[in-house]
A = this chain, B = another copy of it.
């Protein structure tokens, strides 16, 4: 069986008059799109046209729920009651899923955004809330998240398919965590370095950590940060390298659906 990987990016984060990202270009390279659901970014028109673009490119559509904090772009921690969070995520998944269906598609996955992603990765109550919202909508949805996280545990406990996510342009600590953005060298900007890391992540299933140690990493999906300048060029370079190397590019298949 050929090695396969998914390339995902956060898209649809423009709002009203405000444009962010280069979604149209990214769609040519990625295989799954995390569509902002209207709370940390995105609006009904942006969501619909982004989904339409994704479907036209054969890109899998995911919901990208975040905190209701447009001014902070969902990147500021907010402390919600667990039930509040479940309802917030359910509403956002439901909206994106419904718009995807209206456009002739089907929601494929869910990836939490920003502070919610980070908080739920380390808090099993928040992770549980996200998973319960997904289960209420559709058990065949795939949850994206980091390796070794509460999100992974919560998804598996409920029988949801989980896609382990890596970051091609971020430095890793020896323990497998991302180097915090506040630390120098946390973000890798050099395209050749990014491409080389991406290939090693997929081919050797490992990454060289910040201290030079080699870290095993078994990934299903790689994230391209869409708000990095030149993200579309980087995504194209990574995709080209994979294609040349014979790596198959495809979104992860839900195990439940695969077994149908």
A interface, CB within 8 angstroms of B? 15-20, 38, 41, 43-45, 47-48, 68-73, 75-80, 83-84, 87-88, 90-99, 101-103, 115, 133, 136-137, 227
Q: Which of B78, B102, B103 contacts A76 (CB 8 A)?
A: B78
Collect the chain B residues with CB atoms within 8 Å of residue A44's CB: 84, 87-88, 90-92
Collect the chain B residues with CB atoms within 8 Å of residue A76's CB: 78-80
* With known contacts A94-B102, A95-B98, A78–B87 Cβ distance under 8 A: no
Query: Closest chain B residue to A68 by CB distance?
Result: B71
Cα distance A239–B80 when bound, in Å? 37
* Contact between chains at B87 and A48 (CB < 8 Å): yes
Collect the chain B residues with CB atoms within 8 Å of residue A93's CB: 98
13 A–B contact pairs at CB < 8 A?
A: A17-B41, A17-B227, A48-B87, A68-B69, A76-B78, A76-B80, A78-B78, A79-B115, A90-B98, A91-B98, A94-B101, A94-B102, A102-B137
